[in-house]
Every structure is written in structure tokens, then in C-alpha cells.
Structure 1
């Protein structure tokens, strides 16, 4: 009995429905149903029938939910194993260079940058091209800097005031 209580205590902090927790839940609901039946026999009150139906519905819902969580955990573990085997296959494939990659290329980014810049050698671009930003022509909508002036909000208002006077 002490071992069951210890297992029950540790199962509270374990994610998912554990067998010990499910046993304790089912025993508690069975005891509740027996108490409702005894109270029904003692008082002949239909309230205990209603409470018994509600309790039975909750009991069923908890067991259904626990079963669904176990199925989801099993599916997640199967997906994890499938992903690990897929990753192992990708790692063995990545040992040989693919089309368009240089033999010393270690990342996919180098290939993408080479494709964007039109570089067929797969060489690593430097500067802004390495970060995925290619140099472009000046945007015609942007104003050119006036030189030594600060480009804060105050200086912009000063420029407006100077043109009006």
C-alpha cells in the first residue's frame, strides 16, 4: 500500500496519464457511485440519481480523455522515431555534394546565396550578400541626406520652418 501511495504521488508530477493515477481515479469514482447508490436507498431522493448520472459521465469522459492522450503520445513517439530515421538518412546523403553545391559547402544558405547572385561556383558571398541582402539601386522615393545635419525629427521640422520663412 505504501508503494502505491508513493507511485501515486510521483505520478502526479509525471506528464500524461499514468497507470497508477488511472487506477486511483477509477477507484475514487467507483466509491462515489456506491455512496450515491447507498444514499438513494436511504433517502429515495432522485437528486442522487442525477448526481450519479453526472458522476458517471465525468468518469467516462476522464477515461476517454486519458485514452486519447495515450494515443497522442504513442503517435508522437512514432513520429519522433520516423523523424530520427529520416534525419539519419539525410545525414548520410549530405556526405556527398548535391548538384549546385561546392564540395566544401556545409550549409544550405551558401547554396541559396549563390543561386540568388547567379554565382555557379557555389562560393560564399561576403558582406550584405552573405546575409541574404543583395545590393540594389537607390530607392527613388527616399530623400538623400543633406550632409552634416542630424537626421532626427527636430532637424526635419527645422528644414520645413526654413523653407516657409
Structure 2
């Protein structure tokens, strides 16, 4: 019993469902159904029938969800094992076969190709003209700042206003 309690406590902090957690859930729902039956017999109230149906539906849905989760995990494990076998088979096949080179249209990689294709430039970049020797900047291509551009615009606007 102490081992079950310890396993239950640890399963709370384990992601997913564990067998210990499912056993505890099923025992708890069975006890709740028993209590609802006893209350129904003691009071003859329809409320306990409705509560028992709700409890049964919740109990079934929790077990269904746990079953589906286990099935999905088993499928994922099978897929990983198959992909591992395929990778091992491909590695052994690669060492025994010759490499075939295929050429395809630009922009479309060859199926199974491991070559890297250099992408084309998306847009045309225009370099700024080098400033004359009498300007404020030092003469490098990127020395003209945004503030210098705004000063030029404001000077041309002042000249238009005159």
C-alpha cells in the first residue's frame, strides 16, 4: 500500500497517464458510484440517478481519453522505430551505391539532393554616390546619415520658399 501511495504521488508529476493514476481514478469513480447508489436507496431522489449518469459519463470519457493517448504514443513509437530502421538501411545503401547527379530548373531542388543552391538576390541594391571632397562626411559609401539627408531636403525646401 505504501508503494502504491508513493507511485501515485510520483505519477501526479509525470506528464501523461500512468497505470497507477488510472487505477486510482477508476477506484475513486467506483467509490463515488457506490455512494450515489447508497444515497439513492436512502432518499429515493431522482437527483442521485442524474448524478450517477453524469459520473458514469465522466468516468467513461476519462478512460477513453487515456486509451487514445496510449494508442497515439504507441503509434509514435512505431513510427520512430521505422524511421530509425529506414535511416540505418539508407546509410548502409549509400556506402554501396554510386552517387547520381541530376540537374533541375533553377529554384527547384532535386529530390533527395544534398547540394546547396545559392539563392538569387531579391532586389537590386543601389550604392550611394560618393560625396564630393567639400562635403561634411568623410567620404565612405555609408557615411551619409539620415540626418544629412533630411538637412538636404530642408535646405531645398527653404530655397523653394524664397
TM-score (norm 1): 0.71
Separation in structure 2 between the aligned mates of residue 15 and residue 86 of structure 1, nearest angstrom: 30
User: What's the CA shift string for 1:40-89, capped at 9, x where partnerless?
Assistant: 11122211111111111100000000000010010000001011111112
Q: Does 2:101 correspond to 1:100?
A: yes
Provide the residue aligned with 1:105 in structure 2. none
Provide the residue aligned with 2:8 in structure 1. 8
Separation in structure 1 between the aligned mates of residue 24 and residue 80 of structure 2, nearest angstrom: 31
Separation in structure 1 between the aligned mates of residue 93 and residue 153 of structure 2, nearest angstrom: 63
**Which runs of structure 2 are paired with 1:130-149 in the superposition (5 Å)?**
132-133=118-119, 139=124, 142-147=125-130, 148=139
Separation in structure 1 between the aligned mates of residue 13 and residue 5 of structure 2, nearest angstrom: 13
State the shift of 1:32 in Å.
0.2
Give the alignment's Cα RMSD to 1 decimal.
2.4
Separation in structure 1 between the aligned mates of residue 12 and residue 51 of structure 2, nearest angstrom: 27
Separation in structure 2 between the aligned mates of residue 71 and residue 84 of structure 1, nearest angstrom: 20
Separation in structure 2 between the aligned mates of residue 80 and residue 67 of structure 1, nearest angstrom: 20
Count of aligned residue pairs for this structure pair: 136
Structure 2: state its 5+ residue gaps: 103-112, 131-138
Tell me the SS of whatever aligns to 1:100. Answer: coil
> Structure with the greater relative contact order (CA < 8 A, sep ≥ 6): 1 or 2?
1
